[in-house]
Amino acid sequence: MADAGAMDQIITLQRKTATADGGGGVTEAWADFAEDANPWANVKAKSGREGLTEGRTTATFVVEFTIYNRADVTELDRIVWQGVTYNIRGIRAEGGRKLHLVIEAERGVNS
């Protein structure tokens, strides 16, 4: 659990949206949350790994983001931190009265 002083990084929460493309189809894009898309967070590196996929080296990196609790974040959303996109893999509430959300997210993989 992180105290307020440890939440020293601003992240951006994004959600996939669908908009009409004018030709009868739909275009999907990522957009910042409508309200408070940039919460303060405590950021901790968790793990990283390298592997070989279809003859190419791939690397993934798991990070834990802790923010104040909010009901609108899901595993279908993503986080952008320091210009890098992280796909949310798991969310849990922690602390007295479930004050914080701990979000485990991974970069280097498709959503």
| Confidence at residue 19, expressed as pLDDT on a 0 to 100 scale | 85
| Confidence at residue 35, expressed as pLDDT on a 0 to 100 scale | 76
CB 87, CB 105: distance < 8 Å: yes
pLDDT digits (tens, 9 = 90+) for 34-92: 778 899 999 999 877 766 667 776 778 899 999 999 989 999 999 999 999 999 999 99
pTM of the model: 0.81
Residues 6+ away with beta carbon under 8 Å from 5: none
pLDDT digits (tens, 9 = 90+) for 12-41: 999 999 888 888 888 999 999 877 889 999
| Confidence at residue 88, expressed as pLDDT on a 0 to 100 scale | 96
Closest CA to 64 of 34, 104, 99: 104
